[in-house]
Amino acid sequence: MREEQLKMWDDRFANQEYTYGVEPNAYLKEQLEKLQPGKILFPAEGEGRNAVYAAKLGWDVSAFDLSKEGRKKALKLAEENNVTIDYQIGELPELNYHKGQFDVIVLIFAHFNADIRSVYHQLLSSYLRKGGMLIIEAFSKKHLEYRTKNPKIGGPRDLETLCSIDEFKSDFSDFEIIELEEKEIDLDEGLFHVGKGSVVRFVGVKK
């Protein structure tokens, strides 16, 4: 990640208030309710709201991000909820995850830069066991129109970092698609995800 991006996230997460609140993402909550707990990974997890929620359900939770400030908030939230999460700091290729380690991998608004996105997606896929599930909610390329009208909805400012159905089909071609759609949703997550936005949602099972 570029230094200015990392500084932006560290500065944002350094505030006392949780940037996207402490409640889990609604789509994640809906999906996890269908599954039996196992080993789960949350990339780009920020302040930990989703990881902590999964831990409270009995999941064995791993997470990572580049922001040390995000990790501090996540561990604080975990402590307040009497759960533990394994939260690492670093770039994905440098972390010590291994092939087939996880039953579920969750990407909630985990927008990687366009030049590394496909590589990261494929690396994450390798960490998922056969029959494991991938759950994604990400802002679509159409979301830029929503962001222009309402900056409070948040999300990347550049088209290349936003996601599309075709990109997910390409990056996760070895998955059986359970759900893949682009839709308008209402978000109410903390300070920076407020209002209508456009997302791509993907649920797939690794073949």
Domain span at 63: 3-206
Whether pLDDT at 1 is above 60? no
| Percentage of the chain modeled with pLDDT above 90 | 95
**19/70 Cα distance (integer angstroms):** 10
Confidence band, pLDDT 50/70/90 cuts, at residue 6? confident
- Per-residue pLDDT of 142-156, as tens digits, reads 999 999 999 999 999
Block residue for tokens 């604080």: 76
For residue 100, give every residue at least 6 positions away whose Cβ sits within 8 Å of its Cβ, in sequence order, or none. Answer: 126, 127, 128, 129, 130, 132
Whether pLDDT at 51 is above 70? yes
Whether pLDDT at 64 is above 60? yes
* Domain CATH code at residue 157: 3.40.50.150
Token code pair at residue 112: 């990687």
Whether pLDDT at 108 is above 70? yes
Pairing of β 60-65 and β 86-89? parallel
For residue 59, give every residue at least 6 positions away whose Cβ sits within 8 Å of its Cβ, in sequence order, or none. Answer: 32, 37, 38, 39, 40, 104
- Per-residue pLDDT of 68-107, as tens digits, reads 999 999 999 999 999 999 999 999 999 999 999 999 999 9
Q: Tell me what the mean pLDDT of segment 100-126 comes to.
A: 97
Nearest Cα residue to 127 out of 83, 90, 68, 172:
172
Which pLDDT score, from 0 to 100, does residue 129 have? Answer: 98
Token code pair at residue 44: 């780009």
* Domains held by the chain: number: 1
